[in-house]
Amino acid sequence: MPEFDTTHVKSIVLLGHAGSGKTTLAECMLFEAGLISRRGSVTEKNSVGDYHELEQERGNSIFSKLMHAKWRGYKINIIDTPGYDDFVGEVISALRVADTGIMLLNAEMGVEVTTDIIWEYTEEFKTPMIFAVNKLDKDDADFDRTVAEAKNHFGNKVQVVQYPRQQGAGFHEIIDVLRMTMYKFKDTGGKPDKLPIPDEEKERADQLHRDLVEAVASNDESLMEKYFDKGELDEDEMKDGLKKAMINHDIFPLFCLCAERNMGSGRIMGFIDNVCPSANEMPPQKNIKGEDVPCNENGQACIFIYKTVSEPHVGELSYFKVFSGTIKTGMELENESTNVTEKINQLFFVEGNKRTLVNELTAGDIGATLKLKNTHVNNTLHAKGKNFELKPIDFPPPNITVAVESSKKGEEEKLSQALHQLKEEDPTLLVEFSPELKQLLIHAQGDMHLAVAKWKIEHNSKLDIKFSKPRIPYRETIRKEADANYRHKKQSGGAGQFGEVFMRIEPWTEGMAEPHGLNVRGRDTYDLDWGGKLVFYNCIVGGAIDARFLPSILKGVMEKMHNGPLTGSYARDIRVSVYDGKMHPVDSNDISFKIAGLQAFRQAFKDADPQLLEPVYKVEVLCPDDLTGAVMGDLQTRRSIVEGIDAEGHFQKVTAKVPLAEMDGYSSSLRSLTQGRARFRSTFSEYAPVPYDMQRKLMDEYSKTAKEEVV
């Protein structure tokens, strides 16, 4: 039998902006539960959560960490998450398996940008939420301002459960308006004395208590009737009402905290075990067909993989939540996505970087297992014959791209393996080889995300790599009609080569008239893999060229469109009409007409007012109002067109069209410009003409490179 049944397992995720105190709170929880005898700290590099070498080097969380505490008959799984949006994938995957979130607010800073970013995902998952105002012992702490900002950002569903009697260096008393008690802490923190609320605080405490009771009652008709009858709700009624309101996202209780001095963590843990829902009290999970998968420890086994980590000398560690049934060592489960059967050879409780072997894990619990053969993040494993495939996590698209290569030749395969491993661990990091750019590309969330990827490759795979600016996928097209002909003739003894092609090219647009002055005999339209079209007309009359040579001419044209005349970029949106030519009864062959077609197209292209197009992205920057001017000024230095400024939530959203060539380094520039208080997202918008002077420069650069390659 598992040590804890489903009802007595609670899983929480610690959320908040970097520096809000999540890792420190986790240490307090473990200490209060007796799991550790001494609280570690981020600054001393000895916390249970931030154990990774890179985290200790940088002084902040980078990866989500699973821990657990046994508290008053409950097991509380604790997932500590990073506070920078570069690592949002770690936050989203943790939210996917948590029953409750604790959002930490820094009393000095109020609601920060990452808090708003994370909030979008808590709304998506409908995760019950607690707010905890931390760092109330700091000189610039302002509880009332922080609460006002929280209500402004997240609505009046934010309900004060506790407030500090004093703030700053003298902070040591918390007034709890749910239990109508004052907690007084020693300077060293720990277990507080429970005292009556002082007379001078009675009026404020009574008002906040009434507000809380009314908020609970207003979300439940039966409780509202009891409240009208009695004018009050008892402790059990409040507990049940709060739990229901949290599950429905109707109330977000707000607590006080000084995690660094261990003041207030025990009360939050008590609220978790006493009020916060277990997995079986939450709405059931849905499979991909939209059917319910109830969280029942006696149901069919079903686990969801939310995270994988590759550990040296150990292998791949898969983290999962049991959403149904009881998982036992030796059990065989089916992977719905890969159609393989996986055997669970080992089960673990996880405590940071430590693992404890267990024999069973019940529904609602979170654990880990080793060496699954073909199972990845977002996969569901379930009992044989049961289709329990759960809805996958939808990770956000990347914001930044770099080219990557090994500093030493001959290590390409080793680099490919390292990148594959990175992608397995981090679904928000995408890797591809671009045949167009002839570069290996990494797409990431931001500069910090890339820096972590580089560190892991260099330290774990012992590779020396370098990042570089990726080439820009320009496109080439034309703006006017042009005719050209080319005769390919080669004689070198025996059969020679001969082919002559007369060709007209025009800019292609939807619905354009047929070629003027030509007799159209046939037409083919090709949707190009890189966007746009090639429309190819057969306008040959009198058998000047056999129809059997037209595919070769088309092949030559397509080859040049793969490697455009201006910069070697793909060409698009062109209509080609082959209307005359000559052939030789002996020397004409496919290669002759391919070359003739290619060269005729090349000459005509250069006479058709060629235009280089560049990819333009729609960029949306969310920033506080006081930074809007600086953000716009920076965008305007990047050849952008600012399209508008709108309010989104409590931020200003600046929308602009920005050429991709000008986006290099934007992530770090924005972070520096706004001190991390802004974020952006970008999506491809269109191809637009490159300014003439830039086109000339790019053509000259390509011309030099092309000549060097020929030599």
Secondary structure of residue 594 in the 3-state scheme: helix
Strands 292-293 and 173-176, by their bridges, are unpaired
On whether both 503 and 553 belong to a single domain, the answer is: yes
CATH, residue 127: 3.40.50.300
The neighbour count for residue 487, using CB atoms within 10 Å, is 15
In a domain, 361, yes or no: yes
Question: What's the pLDDT band for 479 if we cut at 50, 70, 90?
Answer: very high
On whether both 556 and 520 belong to a single domain, the answer is: yes
Question: Each residue of 2-33: b (16+ CB within 10 Å) or e?
Answer: bebbbebbbbbbbbbbbbbbbbbbbbbbbbbb
Q: Distances in Å between the alpha carbon of 488 and those of 401, 536, 562, 595?
A: 43, 21, 21, 7
Q: Is the dihedral of CA 15, 21, 22, 26 positive or negative?
A: negative
Question: What's the pLDDT band for 40 if we cut at 50, 70, 90?
Answer: confident
Number of structural domains (the chain) is 5
On whether both 510 and 600 belong to a single domain, the answer is: yes
The neighbour count for residue 198, using CB atoms within 10 Å, is 12
Gap between the Cα atoms of 538 and 532, Å rounded: 20
DSSP classification of residue 263: B
Compute the half-sphere exposure of residue 408: CA atoms within 13 Å on the CB side of its CA: 9
**Structure pTM?**
0.87
**Domain boundary, last residue among 422, 442, 468:** 468
In a domain, 320, yes or no: yes
On whether both 248 and 180 belong to a single domain, the answer is: yes
On whether both 96 and 212 belong to a single domain, the answer is: yes
438-449 pLDDT tens trace: 999 999 998 899
Whether the CB-CB separation of 561 and 603 falls below 8 Å is answered with no
Mean pLDDT, all residues of the chain = 92
Average pLDDT over residues 556-564: 96
DSSP classification of residue 707: H
Is 313's pLDDT higher than 80?
Answer: no
CATH, residue 654: 3.30.70.240
Gap between the Cα atoms of 439 and 245, Å rounded: 52
In a domain, 2, yes or no: no
Look up residue 238 and give its two tokens. 């409040």
In a domain, 387, yes or no: no
Whether the CB-CB separation of 192 and 185 falls below 8 Å is answered with yes
Whether the CB-CB separation of 13 and 68 falls below 8 Å is answered with no
On whether both 262 and 405 belong to a single domain, the answer is: no
CATH, residue 517: 3.30.230.10
Tell the burial category of 711 from Cβ atoms under 10 Å away from its Cβ (0-12, 13-18, 19+): exposed
CATH, residue 331: 2.40.30.10
First to last CA, the chain: 76
On whether both 358 and 325 belong to a single domain, the answer is: yes
CATH, residue 409: 3.30.70.870
Amino acid letter at 188?
Answer: T
Gap between the Cα atoms of 534 and 532, Å rounded: 7
Closest to 335 in 3D by CA, of 280, 392, 286, 282: 392
88-129 pLDDT tens trace: 999 999 999 999 999 999 999 999 878 988 998 999 999 999
Gap between the Cα atoms of 474 and 198, Å rounded: 71
Average pLDDT over residues 62-67: 94
In a domain, 343, yes or no: yes
On whether both 489 and 585 belong to a single domain, the answer is: yes
**Domain boundary, last residue among 583, 608, 633:** 608
In a domain, 258, yes or no: yes
Q: Is the dihedral of CA 288, 289, 293, 298 positive or negative?
A: negative
List, in sequence order, every residue forming a beta bridge with 490; answer none if it has no partner. Answer: 497
DSSP classification of residue 554: H
Is 710's pLDDT higher than 80?
Answer: no
Taking 3-state DSSP, the helix, strand and coil percentages for the chain, each rounded to the nearest 5, stand at: 30, 30, 35
In a domain, 702, yes or no: no
DSSP letters, 632-688, are HHHHHTTT-EEEEEEEETTEEEEEEEEEGGG-TTHHHHHHHHHTT--EEEEEEEEEE
In a domain, 331, yes or no: yes
Amino acid letter at 517?
Answer: G
The neighbour count for residue 283, using CB atoms within 10 Å, is 12
On whether both 580 and 595 belong to a single domain, the answer is: yes
Task: Domain of residue 180: give its range.
Answer: 7-281
On whether both 34 and 94 belong to a single domain, the answer is: yes
Gap between the Cα atoms of 4 and 440, Å rounded: 48
On whether both 415 and 449 belong to a single domain, the answer is: yes
Closest to 566 in 3D by CA, of 503, 611, 604, 599: 611
* pLDDT of the residue at 631: 95
SS (HEC) of 175-192: EECCCCEEEECCCCCCCC
Closest to 487 in 3D by CA, of 575, 586, 588, 571: 588
On whether both 110 and 44 belong to a single domain, the answer is: yes
Look up residue 328 and give its two tokens. 């036992």
**Domain boundary, last residue among 356, 382, 408:** 382
* pLDDT of the residue at 693: 95
236-276 pLDDT tens trace: 889 999 999 999 999 999 999 999 999 999 999 999 999 99
Gap between the Cα atoms of 127 and 119, Å rounded: 10
Is 469's pLDDT higher than 60?
Answer: yes
